[in-house]
Amino acid sequence: MGLREKLQKATPKDVRQAIRSGEFTSDTAGLGGGYLQGNLAIMPAEYATDFLRFCQRNPKPCPLVGVSETGDPFLPTLGDDIDIRTDVPQYKIFKNGELIEQVTDIRDHWRDDLVTFVLGCSFSFEDALMAEGIEVRHITQCKTVPMFRTNIQTVKAGPFHGEVVVSMRSMSVSDAIRAIEITSRFQQAHGAPIHFGDPAAIGIKDVNKPDFGDPTEIKDGEVPVFWACGVTPQVAITNAKPSLCITHAPGHMLISDIRGADQGRITI
């Protein structure tokens, strides 16, 4: 049994330990079954109020589930031992809106003026889809979920603005209807899809060429289904050009100790 297969049965804490040690640095699709996964945005406090407004104005792509104290790398509302400097498999580091580095540990980049935002991720509802017999093909094919820029614009807040990014899963029409019903319960993980069917209707020219992640097969009789995606803030960040911002690499999430459908424990 490989490491990924072992971690698919592991607790969130055990998965984080494997990430923290550097043993696991891949995407987190299919891990932490039933627990909330989160997208990441870390930035200096001077930008935090505007980014908070951006999330509040765009709750579908940016469902805010956790915010740290300034300079504090720990997130006790999401897990007792979470250290945001080490517990994400891969991080992207932006300076003035430009990607300068991708790393597996940000302890050398940590500063006492940084604020961490964690945004819910659609990986959190995939366990519920699979429990209903709905195939999640990027997990079946061991790929990163395909993600696309759209022609849908976010609501601007301060310097943060840009198009909505979506993640795509293809399925039969009957499964798509059931998936809409299931994911509508996961408001902290983007909720129901924002579109299904013709990709061109939301500005996607080629569904086989994602902007992020990997292409996945769309079988005959299936429709592509699109959920708002937590990579959306990365587009807004490149437009806002903060002096420093650290995000997750697409598909490489923080796995929390919060049950995916347990909204009662989520604290902002």
CB 33 within 8 A of CB 8: yes
As a whole number of Å, the CA-based R_g of the chain is 17
Mean pLDDT rounded to a whole number for the chain? 93
Provide the percentage of residues in the chain whose pLDDT is more than 90.
83
pLDDT at 262 over 50: no
**DSSP bridge pairs for 165:** 149
**DSSP bridge pairs for 153:** 163
Beta strands 254-259 and 245-248, pairing class: unpaired
Summarised one tens digit per residue, pLDDT across range 44-69 is: 999 999 999 999 999 999 999 999 99
Per-residue pLDDT, 1: 65
pTM: 0.89
* DSSP secondary structure of the chain: --HHHHHTTS-HHHHHHHHHTTS--S--TT-STTEEEEEEEEEEGGGHHHHHHHHHH-TTT--EEEEPPTT--B-TTT-TT-BTTTSSS-EEEEETTEEEEEES--GGG--TTEEEEEEE-THHHHHHHHHTT---HHHHTT-PPPEEEEEEEPPPBTTB--EEEEEEEEEEHHHHHHHHHHHTT-GGGT-S-SEES-GGGGT-S-TTS-SBS------TTEEEEEEE-TTHHHHHHHHH--S-EEEEPTT--EEEEEETT-GGG---
* Average pLDDT of the residues in 222-228: 97
Q: Give CA separation, 80 vs 128, 144, 231, in Å.
A: 25, 28, 26
Residue 80: band (very low, low, confident or very high) from pLDDT cuts 50, 70, 90:
confident
Per-residue pLDDT, 263: 42
Rounded Cα distance between 90 and 106, Å, is 9
**DSSP bridge pairs for 91:** 103, 248
pLDDT at 77 over 50: yes
Per-residue pLDDT, 181: 95
pLDDT at 127 over 50: yes
Per-residue pLDDT, 264: 36
CB 195 within 8 A of CB 166: yes
Per-residue pLDDT, 267: 38
Summarised one tens digit per residue, pLDDT across range 183-202 is: 999 988 899 999 999 999 99
Per-residue pLDDT, 261: 54
Summarised one tens digit per residue, pLDDT across range 7-32 is: 999 999 999 999 999 999 999 988 98
Per-residue pLDDT, 33: 81
pLDDT at 266 over 90: no
Please name the residue that has the structure tokens 């650290």: 246
CA dihedral 121, 75, 27, 4 (to 10 degrees): -120
Note the residue count of the chain. 268
